[in-house]
Structure 1
Amino acid sequence: MSDSNQSNEPASYTLWQLMLYFLRLGALGFGGPVALVGFMHRDLVEERKWISEADYKEGLALAQIAPGPLAAQLAIYLGFVHHRILGATVAGFAFVLPSFLMVVGLGMAYVSYGGLPWMQAVFYGVGAAVLGIMVIGAHKLSTKNIGKDRLLWAIFGVLAIVTIVTQSEIAWLFIGSGILVWLIRCKPKFGNASCAVAMPTQLPQVLPVVADPSLVLQIGLFFAKAGTFVFGSGLAIVPFLYGGVVTEHHWLNDRQFVDAVAVAMITPGPVVITTGFIGYLIAGLQGASIAAAATFFPCYLITIIAAPHFKKWGKHPSVIAFVDGITAAAIGAIAGSVVVIAQRSITDIPTAILAVGATALLWKFRKIPEPFVVLGAALIGLAIYPLLHP
């Protein structure tokens, strides 16, 4: 690590101060991953000057190309800069904890009062609005990450169609997409030290599903696998979760799953924390804790392993090509999942209008905070649901 800024600049802040900052950001940070990483730059680089511009850019680059939710991974990296593994652990835990407690509280209310008309009315409106958020999210991701690359668009299209047809996400297609782009762009010559040598050698292993395990073990294995295939936006985990939680394991029904995505949209912190809500619905507090821990552990592990070596390998063409392929696949899966979820969330004309309206609103007013859209949809749901379901 001698070539890294991480080891040359002493910390101007304590571990305690770092923890308090990320607790506050996790409790009040609305707006999704892009907004959250922007807050970190504003607060930690520009205003407090705890982190150098170079270290921030390196952390952001790693968070963008490695599997893991963008904002949480950047928080872990920034904790690592001056306080190493302990700092990474404290920053990641503090960032996730507030939103985890919120989704567990919402899970308790959902289980206790989910049958009450007012809660049904809220999620009637919110479930439709979430579709609009996902549509805009997929558009932003494709514009930023795919651009005009025909190969990446082809991968996007294939994954979107596969997701719609199978109503699930096939993990090996992600890895296959990365390998395909690597082969086409780099044209590696196996057997000599060319582009091939820089293929990541520490890719996390996908944990297999054990035959007839306990429910808690099943939850841990599934969500660890889900966390391994989240690239960039937390929305990338939605199609993967749907395929496992609803289609494969039948832990939740369609309505409950859409409500879980809605919960992620109305709480601050990382979108991926919806896994805590899902875990609570499956197996109570224990399920919530296992699901959330298993989701974030892969990105934590990848960050602390990669951070000391990232300067050397992060900009290598083979690594970039591999990640570009996986990212295009993930965005295609998000687009496909919009169609799958829409088939179940749009149940009548009002929900169709809400979904289209939320999409149009976010398209027209790009800077409007997504939680405002969700809260507005909740109020509309409270107003019209009783009229339609007297």
Structure 2
Amino acid sequence: MTEIRLQVETSATSAPHSVRFWQAFTFWLKLGLISFGGPAGQISIMHQELVENRRWISERRFLHALNYCMLLPGPEAQQLATYIGWLMHGTWGGVVAGTLFILPSLLILIALSCIYFAFGETQLVAGLFFGIKPAVTAIVVQAAHRIGTRALKNNWLWGIAMASFTAIFAANLPFPLIVLFAAMTGYIGGRFAPHHFKNGGGHEQADKNYGPSLIDDDTPTPEHARFRWPRLLQVALVGAALWLVPMGLLVFICGWSHTLPQMGWFFTKAALLTFGGAYAVLPYVYQGAVAQFGWLTSTQMMDGLALGETTPGPLIIVVAFVGFAGGYVKTIFGSDALFLGGVVAAIVVTWFTFLPSFLFILAGGPFVESTRNDLNFTAPLTAITAAVVGVILNLALFFGYHVLWPNGFGASIDWASGLIMLGAVIALFKFKCNVIHVIVACASMGFILKFSVL
């Protein structure tokens, strides 16, 4: 395995001289088990552990990688873990880091999905989810606030965020188009007002120094991370095979119109055509899975998001719940194997959703490493990060509408849900409570309120 080594120093402030592959393996496994709180919380955990505490990577190198991952479609926190793992230990380092970020949450969510479909109609579970849904809405609002405070450091970036919100909320423009406009704005702004579009968008931590790092600002790019056309072709061919072989087998065994190939194709498009991480992709998944294919209901989609919030790992792992629901509801293996159908569908959906994320890092990482000090590259990424804030705010309003007016604006507001949501907002913003604690408290409150009116 490729291993980065620096000269051993005796100072207490020296960088770690090496990180063995299995030492990194242990950390990535731990991260996969404790990474709660959505992408904002997960990125914060990685920053604290990798930049501040362990000093495996410097602040600027971390932010440069993060901005690239924010540009990509897919879960930026998982891609960031893959990127850092790849930078430290090559291809297998990236594969291990990215896989361990996903695997614990996938197994947990499959187990929760089995419980949900076995007991979801009971009054106990219904009462718990009545309180969890408003909590999820408050969590999305908090995510918009947290990312916004880190990314929107000047009026230019605030303007981009407001424009992206208006574009997706009022004009219903597709998010790829919003990303394109943001990137163009960042490129032009980087040329004419570069101080507003520096790496990290003027991130106040960009100039902080936590001491020497294993991968420091001036550490040369390791040999395996240098751009080479033959290696890019190799990654592209392997990636194509990893997509074509499973899809070909599904079509051969089931037929193209079967639920499993359709899931594989739909979530491949979701992985390639949606940007901004989980919060931006969810409206697209909702539209396709609920309205187009009928794999689950809107209520189940909200419940699935709540379950996703209670598991570690990337929030977009909620697609595993969507797959489980589709395999279960469509009885893909017959009525005697409902849960087997759900498990297989969840695995298929997860494979096709996350495969592109690995390929984007392994193929694009060498190019990104060569552009660390190129403002023409970093300025568009800074603008895209700002645009994502507006999209997340739109998603918060989307969820808030379904929670407060479950029967539409024509019906009366659900005051009980509104009360729970207000309590969750106060707990998250004023008292800085842990996300899991808020979900548990809201579930308990929902149970009490639900059964007090029965």
TM-score for both structures, normalised by structure 1: 0.81
Q: Contact 1:22 / 1:94 at 8 angstroms: preserved in 2?
A: yes
Aligned to 1:363: 429
Counterpart CA distance in 2 for 1:249 and 1:178 is 32
- Cα–Cα, structure 1 residues 312 and 266, in superposed 2: closer, same or farther, change >3 Å? same
Instruction: Report how far residue 7 of structure 1 moved.
Output: 5.9
Distance change (3 Å), C-alpha of 1:143 and 1:44: closer
The corresponding residue for 1:342 is: 400
Stretch of structure 1 that moved more, 20-29 or 71-80? 20-29
Q: Does residue 33 of structure 1 match 2:39?
A: yes
| Local SS of the residue matching 2:121 | coil
Report the Cα distance in structure 2 between the residues aligned to 1:329 and 1:244, rounded to whole angstroms.
Answer: 23
**Structure 2 residue 130 is the aligned partner of structure 1 residue 72:** no
- 3-state SS of paired residue (1:267): coil
* Greater Cα radius of gyration, structure 1 or 2: 2
Q: CA separation of 1:171/1:245 partners in 2, compared to 1, >3 Å: closer, same or farther?
A: farther
Looking at structure 2, the residues matched to 90 and 359 of structure 1 have their Cα atoms a distance apart, in angstroms, of 36
Greater CA drift, 228-237 or 126-135:
228-237
Q: How many residues matched?
A: 362
| 2:69 paired residue number | 63
Segments of structure 2 that go 5 or more residues without pairing to the other structure are 8-16, 193-231, 237-242, 244-250, 328-341, 407-413
Q: Does 1:265 pair with 2:274?
A: no
The 8 Å contact of residues 178 and 321 in structure 1, kept in 2 or not, is answered as no
Matched, 1:310 2:368: yes
- Code of the aligned partner of 2:433: I
Q: Secondary structure at the match of 1:313?
A: coil
CA contact (8 A) 2:70 2:277 kept: no
The residue number in structure 1 matching 2:98 is 92
Which of these residues, 371, 375, 380, is aligned with residue 440 of structure 2? 375
Which secondary structure does the structure 1 equivalent of 2:451 belong to?
Answer: helix
Quick one: which of 151, 162, 167 aligns to 1:158?
167
Deviation for aligned residue 1:243 = 2.3
CA-to-aligned-CA distance 1:48-107 (integer Å, 9 cap, x gap):
555566654543343344433232112111211232111110111112111111111111
Tell me the residue number matched to 2:299.
255
| Match runs of 1:1-390 below 5 Å | 9=6, 12-48=18-54, 50-51=56-57, 55-147=61-153, 148-149=155-156, 150-163=159-172, 170-178=174-182, 180-181=184-185, 184-185=188-189, 213-228=257-272, 231=275, 234-283=278-327, 284-346=342-404, 347=406, 348-365=414-431, 367-388=432-453, 390=454
Q: C-alpha distance in 2, partners of 1:229/1:359?
A: 32
Q: Which moved more, 1:109-118 or 1:169-178?
A: 169-178
Measured at CA, do residues 67 and 8 of structure 1 come closer, stay the same or move farther in structure 2, by a change above 3 Å? farther
Residue 378 of structure 1, CA deviation: 0.7
- Sequence identity (%): 29
Q: CA deviation at 1:372?
A: 1.2
3-state SS of 1:30 partner: coil
Q: Between 348-357 and 43-52, report the one with greater CA deviation.
A: 43-52
The 1:182/1:36 distance shift into structure 2, 3 A limit, reads: closer
Deviation at 1:285, TM superposition (A): 1.2
Partner Cα separation in structure 2 for residue 340 and residue 61 of structure 1: 26
Residue in 2 that maps onto 1:192: none
SS at match of 2:170: helix
Cα distance change on mapping 1:322 and 1:294 into 2, 3 Å:
farther
Q: d(CA) in 2 for partners of 1:299 and 1:279?
A: 18
C-alpha separation in 1, matches of 2:68 and 2:80: 8
Structure 1 unmatched ranges of 5 or more: 164-168, 189-200
TM-score for the superposition, normalised by structure 2:
0.70
Residues 1:305 and 1:29: Cα distance change in structure 2 (over 3 Å): same
Structure 2 distance, partners of 1:270, 1:80, is 18
1:292 Cα deviation after fit: 1.7
8 Å CA contact 2:66–2:80 kept in 1: the answer is yes
